[in-house]
Amino acid sequence: MAAEDVKLLSFWASPYAMRAILALEAKGVNYESIEENLNPKSQLLLESNPIYEKIPVLLHNGKAIPESLIIVLYVDEAWPEHGGFLPKDPYARAMTHFWSDFIDKKIFEVPFSALKAKGEEKEAALKELYDNLLTLESGFIKFDAKPFFNGSSIGYADICLAPFVAWLPVFVDLAGIRLPTAEEAPHLHKFIGAIREHPAAKVAFPDIEKLAAFSRSLQQRWAAST
Amino acid sequence: MAPELKLLSLWASPYCMRVAIALNMKKVQCEVIEEDLRNKSDLLIKLNPVHKKVPVLIHNGKPICESLIIVEYVDEVWPEDGTRQAILPKDAYCRAMERFWADFIDKKIFPPAYFALRKQGDEQQKAIADFYESYAILEGALAKVSEKPFFGGKKLNFVDVILAPLACWLLALEELAGINVNKCESYPRLCEYFKAVREHPAVANVLPDDKKESEHFRKLRNL
């Protein structure tokens, strides 16, 4: 079989890019990571993702796949031999999609809103995140997560959530994020502990000091532009 | 034994129409339960406690929520055989591209259309501008499909199931937001698309009357 050409247009701090890296690492795919500067955006990025001009973009034998969750599903389907990210039963698959969608819409973006916001708006974001994390705990319970939604190996919903954990110390320090306690959300806390130890996360998650410095400079830029 | 299938629905909701279209394509019967969203039923709140929204498909007592997820579920439970077609293709790259455009339509076409119909002033103007920008991108995408008239060529695919319900909003968009996309010179493929999709057997009995939909939004504005 001819060698596969797999490239990932990426950015080290992007939680979306981290999802793609986690998927590729979990499947043991050989890939080349191309760090995008984003200012200016490379010709390759603009050609590969003309609609959104954003990373991550997976390039597989020249074909471009953008959007982090679509990339994760593609990686699962293009390399089926290394364990599935989704269960086989259609109902369990639908539930996995449901919780991934919930994570993406109700958890992933909220801390960044809290980082940008001030006063009442910030408090509202913090409360929303807290409530949504409690709801997520109910999802972990429904799946009987051990400790991942996908059992002992990471799957679609786990990959969707994991970068939140990479950024968590920054969210706590700079945005004042409050997590439910280990008593209130034991599965969430087990997930956080387990994902940090996962070999794929050791590759995907950036150095926390570097991430903290990056976030501080982002916050300064946002403050300056308002 | 026929499966027990119910759909918690709202006649005016394009998200519910997507599910009905998918079930029609699979030739599966379903009991439709109309919800009053100002007075949500105990059943809706019990089966979709997280979002409390329609559509909810109930299959043998188990609820599935979120229209795109329901459509993929329906496609998996009733796969292609001699009597029914597949909605998503088998090839991983083609699946990714259909999911990409379905996601684009779900995020960049329907929400601005909805806000254009519901809002006034600056908020409405922004929604209208966003809608036109996305619609032009969609026309470009459809123009790349060599077989006409659908995103799936002669057949409906996943993208079509997600997009088709927009047909019943076109009159409302014109009357309430001044959005006129029936100019076939500007959007030749999409013009042809919406004429054809209304007539498709899986879609025709799902779409409500355009005027009824427009009146529905007019009432919501006056509340």
Residues of chain A in contact with residue B99, where contact means CB-CB under 8 angstroms, are 70, 73
pLDDT of the residue at A4: 84
Sign of CA pseudo-dihedral A29, A32, A38, A40: negative
Q: Which residues of B touch A23 (CB under 8 A)?
A: none
Which chain A residues are closer than 8 Å to B59 by Cβ?
91
User: At A58, which helix (H) or strand (E)?
Assistant: strand A57-60
Residue B86 is assigned to a structural domain of this protein: no
Helix (H, G, I), strand (E, B) or coil at A32: strand
CATH number where B37 lies: 3.40.30.10
What confidence category does residue B37 fall into, taking pLDDT thresholds of 50, 70 and 90? confident
Q: Which of A67, A97, A98 sits opposite B103 (nearest CB)?
A: A67
- Per residue, the 3-state secondary structure of chain B, as one string, reads CCCCEEEEECCCCHHHHHHHHHHHHCCCCCEEEECCCCCCCHHHHHHCCCCCCCCEEEECCEEEECHHHHHHHHHHHCCCCCCCCCCCCCCHHHHHHHHHHHHHHHHHCHHHHHHHHHCCHHHHHHHHHHHHHHHHHHHHHHHCCCCCCECCECCCCHHHHHHHHHHHHHHHHHHHHCCCCCCCCCCHHHHHHHHHHHHCHHHHCCCCCHHHHHHHHHHHHHC
Do B66 and A101 count as a contact with CB atoms less than 8 A apart? yes
Nearest Cα of chain B lies from the Cα of A94 at a distance, in angstroms, of 6
- What integer is the mean pLDDT of A187-216? 96
Interface of B with A (CB under 8 A): 50, 59, 62, 64-66, 69-70, 72-73, 76-77, 92-93, 95-97, 99-100, 103-104, 137
- Give residue-wise pLDDT tens across range A54-66: 999 999 999 999 9
Residue A90: cis peptide before it, omega within 30 degrees of 0: no
- Residue B87 covered by a domain: no
What does the pLDDT read at residue B2? 60
pLDDT of amino acid B1: 52
B196 and B125 in a common domain: yes
Token digits of residue A83: 């364990």
The predicted pLDDT at position A221 comes to: 85
Please state, in angstroms and rounded to a whole number, the distance separating the CA atoms of residues A140 and A191: 9
* Phi (first) and psi of residue A187, to 5 degrees: -65, -40
What would the pLDDT profile of B114-149 be if each residue is shown by its tens digit? Answer: 999 999 999 999 999 999 999 999 999 999 999 999
What whole-number distance in Å separates Cα of residue B96 and Cα of residue A67? Answer: 10
Instruction: Specify whether B101 is located in the same domain as B160.
Output: yes
Residue B84 domain-assigned?
Answer: no
Query: Is there a contact between A135 and B65 if contact means CB atoms under 8 Å apart?
Result: no
B3: confidence class by pLDDT, cuts 50, 70, 90:
low
**Secondary structure (3-state) at A118:** coil
* Residue that finishes a domain, picked among B43, B77, B111: B77
pLDDT for residue B182 = 83
Identify whether B101 is part of a domain: yes
Please report, as a single letter, which amino acid is at residue A210: K
Q: Tell me, yes or no, whether B40 and B102 share the same domain.
A: no
Q: Is the peptide bond before A56 cis (omega within 30 degrees of 0)?
A: yes
Looking at B77, B102, B133, which one is the last position of a domain? B77
In-domain check, residue B171: yes
- Same structural domain, B98 and B64: no
Q: Report how many domains make up chain B.
A: 2
Angle between helices B110-118 and B170-177 (to 10 degrees): 40
pLDDT band at A226 (very low <50, low <70, confident <90, very high): low
Average pLDDT rounded to a whole number, residues B64-68: 97
Q: Does A198 touch chain B (CB under 8 A)?
A: no
Give pLDDT tens digits for A113-143. 898 888 999 999 999 999 999 999 999 999 9
Q: Mind listing the pLDDT tens digit for each residue in A94-119? A: 999 999 999 999 999 999 989 888 89
The model's pLDDT over B71-111, given as tens digits with 9 standing for 90+, comes to 999 999 999 998 999 999 999 999 999 999 999 999 999 99
Are the C-beta atoms of residues A9 and A48 closer than 8 Å to each other? yes
* Residue of B58, B68, B99, B101 best to disrupt the A interface, most CBs of A under 10 A: B99
Query: Do B63 and B101 sit in the same domain of this protein?
Result: no
Q: Determine the average pLDDT of the residues in B165-176.
A: 96
- Same-domain status, B185 and B118: yes
Q: What is the mean pLDDT of residues A9-14?
A: 97
For B14, the domain range is 5-77
pLDDT bin (cut points 50, 70, 90) of residue B221 is: confident
Residues B200 and B106 in one domain: yes
Asked if pLDDT for residue B223 goes beyond 80, the answer is: no
Q: Last residue of some domain: B77, B103, B132?
A: B77
Instruction: Evaluate whether B158 touches B103 at the Cβ level (below 8 Å).
Output: no
**CATH number, domain containing residue B102:** 1.20.1050.10
Q: B53 with B13, same domain?
A: yes
- Chain A residue numbers with beta carbons less than 8 Å from the beta carbon of B69 are 94, 97-98, 101
Section B156-182 average pLDDT: 96
Residue A2 has pLDDT above 80, yes or no: no
Question: What pLDDT is stored for residue A1 in this prediction?
Answer: 43
Judgement on whether residues B73 and B103 belong to the same structural domain of the protein: no
What pLDDT, in 10s, does the model give residues B16-33?
999 999 999 999 999 999
Question: Do β-strands A32-35 and A6-10 pair in parallel, antiparallel, or remain unpaired?
Answer: parallel
Residues B46 and B139 in one domain: no
> What residues contact residue B9 under an 8 Å CB cut-off, 6+ apart?
B16, B19, B20, B32, B33, B34, B35, B54, B55
Instruction: Please state, in angstroms and rounded to a whole number, the distance separating the CA atoms of residues A81 and A92.
Output: 20
Q: Do B64 and A65 touch (CB under 8 A)?
A: no
Chain A contacts of B66, Cβ < 8 Å? 97-98, 101
Residue B13 lies in a domain: yes
pLDDT on residue A118 = 87
In this structure, the answer to whether residues B111 and B196 fall within a common structural domain is: yes
* CB-CB under 8 Å, B93 with A74: yes
- Domain-located, residue B82: no
pTM (predicted TM-score): 0.95
Beta strands across the sheet bearing B56-59: B31-34, B5-9, B56-59, B62-65
Within this chain, do residues B197 and B101 fall inside the same structural domain, yes or no? yes
As a whole-number percent, the residues of chain B with pLDDT over 70 amount to: 98
Lowest-confidence segment of A191-195, A201-205, A217-221, B176-180 by average pLDDT = A217-221
Residue A102 at interface with chain B, using a CB cutoff of 8 Å: yes
Distance, in Å, from the CA atom of B6 to the CA atom of A112, rounded to the nearest integer, reads: 39
Tokens of A27: 């499947």
Q: Is residue B20 part of a domain?
A: yes
Chain B: give the shortest CA distance to residue A194, in Å: 26
Q: How far is CA A112 from CA A125, A167, B182, in A?
A: 9, 10, 40
Q: Which of B69, B96, B99 sits opposite A98 (nearest CB)?
A: B69
